Amino acid sequence: MTKTVAWRNSDHLVPYPEAVAQMETRVAAIAAAKARELVWLLEHPPLYTAGTSAKREDLLDAAGLPVFESGRGGQFTYHGPGQRVGYVMMDLRRRGNDVRRFVFDLEEWLIRTLARFNVRGERREGRIGIWVASSSGKEDKIAALGIRVRRGISFHGVSLNVEPELTHFAGIVPCGIHGHGVTSLAKLGLVLSTAEVDMALRAAFEEVFAAKTAIERKRAKQSA
């Protein structure tokens, strides 16, 4: 297990500005070696966020929902009840400062979480996020990710569509990707509790990152 990583599970809707403020504080503390790394699982009230690459024309109709500028990478996305967000505050300085590999591992985390519910999630070249085949033969997005790194510490993270209001995604071009839909575990016929999803997320995370930690320790010992 990744013993340096603490976990927090919020069972109420966390306002986006509050979550960002808490992440900022935690990132500074981790960078100063005053706090443990943290994975925070939560949900937000309905809202849109604009990443650093967001294009104004991709905000089609906010329909009264708040829009927040976000320092994470990526474009527009929707957050709301029924979507489990995982904010990942980890020290990449201890992991080779390899941001590309870290993103790959976050994708693997989502893929393995879905696999625990017998859902096959896949990466697609040129399309950020995790994708599943729909009954119509098209591919729909079921999970998204976007991170920021400050002083070697990651924050923001991933989101998994459990049972969100999918019509809200029509207000944006999700992640700037045209021609594809958005789906959820509920739309795929899976009715799951938050506790079940959180258990799967944690187990899959530890599966991915505990293995990496063991390899990194072995390499450090060999180079010592």
Among the listed residues 44, 26, 43, the one whose alpha carbon sits nearest the alpha carbon of residue 35: 26
Number of domains in the chain: 1
CATH code: domain of residue 93:
3.30.930.10
Active-site residues, by number, are: 175
Q: What is the mean pLDDT of residues 37-41?
A: 98
The helix (run of H) or strand (run of E) holding residue 160 is: strand 153-161
pTM of the full structure: 0.89
Q: Give tens-digit pLDDT for 136-190.
A: 778 999 999 999 999 999 999 999 999 999 999 988 876 655 667 899 999 999 9
Instruction: Give me the domain span that covers residue 110.
Output: 5-223
Token pair 């500074």: residue: 28
